[in-house]
Amino acid sequence: MKKLMTAEDLTKIVSVSHPVYSPDGKKAVFTKVTVNDKKDDYNIHLWVRDEETEELSQWTFEEGKHYQPVWSKDSRQLAFILQKPKEAPQLALIQCEGGGVRTLTAIPYGVSHPVFSLDGAFIYAAVSLKPSESVHDEKKEERDEFAPAVYDDLTYKADGRGFLDGRFTQIILVNVHSGEIEAVTSGQHHHVNHTLSPCGKWLAYIQSNPQKPYISDVCLRSLEDGTTKKITQSSGAYSTVSFAPNGESLVYIGHEREFQNATFPALWLYDLKEGNVVQLSEMLDMYVGNCMAGDSFMGEANQLPQWTKDSQGFYALVSDQGSTGIYYFSVEGLAYPVRLEAEHITNFSLHPDESKMLLSRLSPVSPSELCEMTLGEADLKQITFEHDEFLKEHVLSVPEPFSFQSKEGVEVHGWFMKPSEMEEGKTYPLILEIHGGPHAMYGYTYFHEFQMLAAEGYAIVYINPHGSHGYGQMFTDHVRGSYGGVDYEDVMQAVDHVLKAYDFLDETRLGVTGGSYGGFMTNWIVGQTDRFRAAVTQRSISNWISFYGISDIGYYFTRWQIEGDIYDSADKLWDRSPLKYVKQVNTPLLILHSDEDYRCPVDQAEQLFVALKELGKDTRLVKFPKASHDLSRSGHPGQRIQRLTFIKDWFREKLK
C-alpha cells in the first residue's frame, strides 16, 4: 500500500544539478544535494558520468559541500569549491587520473566561482574582502562582540548575509602548482561572475556598487595591461556574460530597468571589434532565465548561455507560461524553442560535438533528475534515478492546468490539485497558495508543500496572477502601484473558478497561505474578506511605512512596487498596508517568520501579531531562530520540516 506524503519526506529529496561536460566530451560532472544524516545541514557531492560506458561514479565523499565544478581545457583537472562543516569555502582540485582532493587555498574569507586559465596552470576565483583584508591573512580578525557597529552607507544589511561589514567581491588568480595568490581586481565595487575569453587575453565580469541597487555593468579587463572598460552605461542591471568561441563577440543577460525590478532580462550581443551592442531578444516577450517558484530544488542558479562551435548562436534558458525550457538564439536575432514542455529545466550543458545536452529537470510529479536530450529528438533519456523508489511508494496528486478570463479580459493561468486520496460523495476543503515576488512564476515543477497538503486531504489551487513572470512584460508590470487590486481579483476569481468546476469542494472550508509577497497578499485578503476559514502568512509584509526603513531593499522596492515613499506619499503606503485593515480581520491567522529575515524583517510579523492579539483575534506567532527569508527553500532541514508541520497543523485544526 502506498504512503501519503509527509513533511519529513522533504529530507528524502535530492537536488541533481549543474551538469558540465568535459571539453573532450568524454565525461560530465554534476552535483547531488542531500540532507545529511543529522538532518541539520546539506551535503553536496560531485558525481561524474563516463560518456562512453554511461557509468556514474561519485568523486567526492567527505562531509560538506562540493560545488561549482569546472574542467580545465585539457579535461585533465576538475576544480570546484569545497566547504567543510563550519569552515569557509575554499578552492579545491582533483586530477582526473587520480590522487584525491587537493585543497588549494586557506583564505579565511572564503572562495567562490573558479575559472581555469587556458593552460590549466592558474584558476581565477572570487573572494569577499574588506579594504584592510588580504587573501594572505591566516585568520579573520577577532571582533569584539560588544564593539559598536558603525555604518555610513545606505545599504548596510542583506538577507542571508546579515549586517554588512564593508566587504567587496574581488577576483584573484591562484597558481595551481604553488598555491600562490595575486589580486586581479580591487576597489569599492563587487566583481562577480567572471569568465575568460577564448584567446585568454580578456576577463569579462559584472561590476556593481552596492550603494546603487539594481545598477551593474559588464566590464572587460585586459589581462595584458590591466586596463578595464565598461561595455554598459551604468543604467541597467546585468547578471551573466559569455564569450563566443571565436572570441569576436560576447553575450550578456540583463536589462535597462525600463520597468525597474519588474523588467524582463534580455539578451545582448557585443561585438568586441566594432564595440557595438545589439539586443537579440527584443522581439521575444519572454523571461530569459529561470524564474520558477519552488521548494524542492537547491543548486546553481546562474546558467551561462551555451555557444555553438561556429559562434553563430547559443542556447539559453527561457521561462514562459509556467514552463522553463531551452531556446536557441542566433546572432542575427532569430529565436526558437529547443525544448519548452510542461516541466522545469534548471540548468543544462551542451556536449562539445553539439549532438546532445545534459539537463537537470523537475516535473510536477518528480523532483530533479539528470536527463540526456539528443538534439532534434523529442524524448529524453533519464540518467539518474534518485527518486524512483520514493515516488513509487507515495501517492502523488497530479496538478491539472486551467485558465480563466480575468475581469480585465486577460487570460490567467493556474493549476488545481485534488486531495491525494478521495472518497466518493465526500467533500474536501480548498487551500489557495500565492507565490512570492510578486515577479516569480508558479509552474510545472515539483512542490513538496503542495503534495504534503494534498496528502492531508486538501485540494490546492495556485495561479500566476497579474505581476507574475512568464506571461509577457505588460502582464508582469501591471501590478506595480496597485498591490491588492487586480492581483486580489485574480486570486479570488481563481477560487470561484475551481469551486464551480469541482463539486466535491466545500466552499465553507477555505484556507489561504503564501510567503513574502504571497504573505502580503494573505494579510491583505483576510483584511478584505471573511471568506476564508483559516490563513497562514509567511515571511510577510504588513506595514509598508515601516518596511521602507527596515528591509534591506525597502527604500527602493517600496518606491518601485507601491510607487510611494515615506516623505510625500505615506498615506498611499498606509492605504496599501494590511495593518490598516486589522480590525476587519476575522480569519484565524498563523504568522510564520524567520528571526533573521532582512528582506521582510520579523518586525512585520510582530506588528501584525500585536495588533491582532490586542483586538482579541485568533492568531499565533511562530519565529524561527537564525533563519533567513529563504527558510522554505534552503533553510535548516529541521526548520523546514517544522514550518511545514505548523502549516499542516493549523489547517487541520481550523478547517475541520
Q: For this structure, is 242 an active site residue?
A: no
Question: Which of the following is catalytic: 216, 397, 468, 516?
Answer: 516
- One-letter amino acid for residue 23 of the chain: P
- DSSP character at residue 97: T
Decide: 294 and 313 in contact? Cβ < 8 Å.
no
Q: What is the identity of the amino acid at 269? A: L
Strands of 516-654 (E only): list them: 534-538, 589-594, 619-624
| DSSP summary character for residue 9 | G
CA distances from 631 to 400, 447, 608 (A): 28, 15, 20
Measure CA 437 to chain center: 11
Amino acid at 279: Q
Contacts of 396 (CB under 8 A, 6+ apart): 5, 365, 420, 451
Name the burial class of residue 344, with classes exposed (0-12), middle (13-18) and buried (19+) by CB atoms within 10 angstroms of its CB.
buried
d(CA 362, CA 15): 10
Round to whole Å and give the CA distance between 623 and 309.
52
Please return the burial class of 156, using the count of CB atoms within 10 Å of its CB with bins 0-12, 13-18 and 19+.
middle
176-181, long-range: CB < 8 A, 24+ apart: 176/77, 176/93, 176/104, 176/120, 176/121, 176/122, 176/123, 177/121, 179/104, 179/105, 181/105, 181/107, 181/135, 181/136
CA–CA dist 350, 555 (Å, integer): 41
As beta bridge partners, residue 335 has: 329
d(CA 427, CA 425): 7
Q: Looking up cell 506595514, which residue turns up? A: 543
DSSP code per residue over 243-285: E-TTSSEEEEEEE--TTGGGPPPEEEEEETTT--EEETTTT--
Catalytic residue among 45, 394, 466, 629: 629
H or E segment and range at residue 374: strand 366-374
Tell me the angle at which helices 448-455 and 637-654 cross, rounded to the nearest 10 degrees: 40
Q: Give catalytic status of residue 629 as yes or no.
A: yes
Instruction: Say if residue 622 is exposed, middle or buried (CB neighbours under 10 Å; 0-12, 13-18, 19+).
Output: middle
Q: Which residues are catalytic?
A: 516, 629
